Amino acid sequence: MQKQQTLSRNQKIIFDLIDKSPEPMKAYSILFNVQKKGIKAPLQVYRALDKLIEIGKIHKIESRNAFIACQNSSCQISKATAFSICESCENVSEISNSKLSKYLSNFADMSGMKYNKYNLEFFGLCKKCKSK
Amino acid sequence: MQKQQTLSRNQKIIFDLIDKSPEPMKAYSILFNVQKKGIKAPLQVYRALDKLIEIGKIHKIESRNAFIACQNSSCQISKATAFSICESCENVSEISNSKLSKYLSNFADMSGMKYNKYNLEFFGLCKKCKSK
DNA sequence: TAACGCTATGTAATAATATAACATTTACAT
DNA sequence: ATGTAAATGTTATATTATTACATAGCGTTA
Ligand SMILES: [Zn+2]
Ligand SMILES: [Zn+2]
Ligand SMILES: [Zn+2]
Ligand SMILES: [Zn+2]
């Protein structure tokens, strides 16, 4: 069990919004949605995002510049992330596959590099979009 | 053997620059470096980058918004990319490991999704930075 | 309590990254 | 030579992210 973090006010507002969203949210869309709660500036959003990423509550989908709530609430895998992304409807889901994460966490090549983090993004067509 | 693409003028100028660079280059740094050759606007750079990515001559390092020449000249793997990134010196190199690419290309989970592309980024400390 | 360190917040300005819209030119196959 | 797709040129603008500086809250401990 990971230590339960207490979120600050802005962090909680922004996490709740992302967590409720069915799709990854972009920073300025987040900003727009929380302005009525008093968060008015980009920096306030980015600071909260940075913190939420650091503690593993959300992840950034790098290829989309968007943010998604962690879908593996019971485990700390912010340093080992994998996503599947539909290139048609842009649906994104976090892959939670212990064989995959074991394989990648143990991956070593000849570079002499010690990896402590990875991010993997798969692209394709989701079930729905495939059958269209 | 992949079909040899003929690069257009702008594409060639920009590819040569990236290919000579020891590190990934950012779009506006590319722009700055090719202005003396008549490429004056961001869009000219981005168009060439898009094309070069499409044909697999370069890759985008998503976590860095930077572009690197493909280091696997003999094979077409623009749809299956893996990189190792040093978080200290920002050195980036393309991983060419057939077991890894086979494993990931064949990866399937319960989502019913057919993947046709992936991008993997490993982070850590390179040999040099580790020994400091 | 007061002083301190640390985290979070507020605000304005600006930097960095990327695309839209439109006009023109080039390559090249018929 | 004509049609068509690809590439280019140009201006403006959209989107994403950070710098710099000031202020406020909160727990520790002198
Ligand atoms: Zn997660
Ligand atoms: Zn889909
Ligand atoms: Zn490559
Ligand atoms: Zn290094």
DSSP H helical segments within B6-132, as ranges?
9-20, 27-34, 42-54, 98-105, 127-130
Residue B44: inside a domain:
yes
A64 and A84 fall within a common domain:
no
B13 and B65 fall within a common domain:
yes
**Domain count along chain A:** 2
Residue B108: inside a domain:
yes
Tell me the ligand closest to A2's alpha carbon: 1
CATH code assigned at B113: 3.30.1490.190
CA-CA distances (angstroms) from residue A83 to A8, A116, B35, B98?
28, 18, 38, 21
Residue B89: inside a domain:
yes
**Is the Cβ atom of A42 within 7 Å of strand C at any atom?**
yes
pTM to 2 decimal places: 0.94
CATH code assigned at A24: 1.10.10.10
Numbered residues of chain B with Cβ closer than 8 Å to any chain A Cβ: 62-63, 84, 86-87, 93, 95, 97, 100, 103-104, 107, 109, 111-127, 130
Could you list the residue range(s) of the whole structural domain that residue B85 is in? 80-130
pLDDT digits (tens, 9 = 90+) for A42-95: 999 999 999 999 999 999 999 999 999 999 865 566 899 999 999 999 999 999
A22 and A60 fall within a common domain:
yes
pLDDT digits (tens, 9 = 90+) for B81-102: 999 999 999 999 999 999 999 9
Residue A75: inside a domain:
no
Residue B48: inside a domain:
yes
